[in-house]
Structure 1
Amino acid sequence: MLRRILLLAIVAGIAGFGVFWWLTIPATIAASALPAHQPDLANGQEMFNAGGCSSCHAVPKQDDRLKLGGGLAIGSPFGTFYAPNISPDPNDGIGRWSEADFVNAVMKGTSPAGTHVFPAFPYTSYQHARISDVRDLFAYLKTLPAVSGKVPDHDVPFPFNIRRTIGIWKLLFMDDKPLVADASRSAQWNRGDYLVNSFGHCAECHSPRNVLGGIIAAQRFAGGPNPEGEGWVPNITQKRMSDWSAKDISYFLESGQTPDGDSAGGAMVRVIKNTSQLTAQDRDAIAEYIKSLPPVDGPPRPKKPEKES
């Protein structure tokens, strides 16, 4: 009897492992599935700025935002991630990547080696981008300076360092659905929806997360603890932004100046360096979309400890 139970346990374990392995196969788009495409470098530059690529991938502590040698440390409850080198350097960057490699990394979170990319890279938002825009971005990146130098390995403890388990995380938090235009809204609003929820990945910072690190859908855009561990990211729904006009939001994205005369701080300073480079039309589109977000209560902010008398 004991032998039979043991045998059944072994069979169940093998079957369970097989199911896990099948469910966690990294998704890819075959190069043969990509139709002929003539890259639009101007559009690629716009996607570069909308995506804030230089905010994470520019070499820290230098002024040239186009030197994408990586190395920025990104803290999280799961460990410290280091933004990779995405310059065209053939050894340390993405100079040897194919277009399909890049599309799969950005939209599927799958590396050229066929492994899962850690979701510190916001592909849960990038999955909603148009493939043509991702291809234009890749073409634009290839025009930038090659930067040599390897970045440190991610400092992620067990069990979070097991990349295969990210496949389960993706099943939970990636819907793999394209954004569909809302016919009841203006073309400008739909453009803002696209930029905010794909390349702009605004919800990735401006939303609270659950214990697994997934965005809490019911509080999307409602702010919360800074994912990098310090400070609080503001609520950008009408719960907090009701006094801001769409024009105020657009001007903030251009200048970093708030309606009350304050200025952007923290990581938002890096974001403004990118959004200030967008066309005025795209800033206005983002502003119109954000202004339309219904009021949502975010998580309560922790109380500051009282000073001892």
Structure 2
Amino acid sequence: MSDLPVELILDNMSDLVFVMRLDDSNDFRYVKMNSSAMRAAGLTSMAYGATFYDVLDPYEAEFLDKQYHHALTTVKPISFLFSHGGQIGETKLDIVRAGGNPHVIGTVRDITERVSTEQRLRREAHFDALTGLMNRHGLEERLHTSLAEAEKTGSLVAVMVIDVDSLKTMNDTWGHLVGDAVLQEAARRIQGVIRKEDIVARIGGDEFILAVHIQTRSDSILLAERLRVALSAPWVHNNVTMEMSASMGMALFPMHAATFQEVLRLADEALYKAKQKPGTHYECKE
């Protein structure tokens, strides 16, 4: 058997350990913490005998008190996430009923880095790294809700496909770094026209897709005209003035089609017609 004292073992654990005792008044009181727990919570042994409400923010105290009381009613240990001081901890609660009042041992593992990595991976799966806009996966996820809302409220959704026609010329003339900057500028200009709640995504190459809630077909023409003006304005980059141009095709849900796939196909057809004209133009499904 090991001769290491339990105190030394606890104080060398990276996990936080809190031991709480339920008193006769049904209040949990601190009876033991390891060094990691004290540092993370900003407490010392002076907190022994105190309740959550004595030493924590009222919101945190209420949350933890409910979790610890809930642990007493379950057969299996419970676990939950808890944020404190910018750190995220995964807490597991175990019950000890060795005569007298029960104790709850809370073991907390810092998962801040893991959560941050998971959030980054989720963002990378749904957002375009270059422009910060949604990608195709993010677009499909948002559109399901957006189109359902349009059906419920009886509004229209203008679905627009935009190709930045000037991208190839700028790539060939100035290189791909400038081409990337062109796409970022196009994204900024598009976002400057639409509302925060509207949907815009870059789905690859020089192509963007918008989905904007409107009330009438004339609203879609006004939107397209504002985008035409925004995307045809010259762009100054590194003291060089460059001409920007884009082609836009648009169709309306559910006026022109009852599914997103179909309305997108019609918008693509309108885009093809717009591309036959020089400069920045838009076409809308009749």
Same fold (TM over 0.5): no
Higher strand share: 2
User: Which of structures 1 and 2 has the bigger CA Rg?
Assistant: 2
Higher relative contact order (CA 8 A, sep 6+): 1
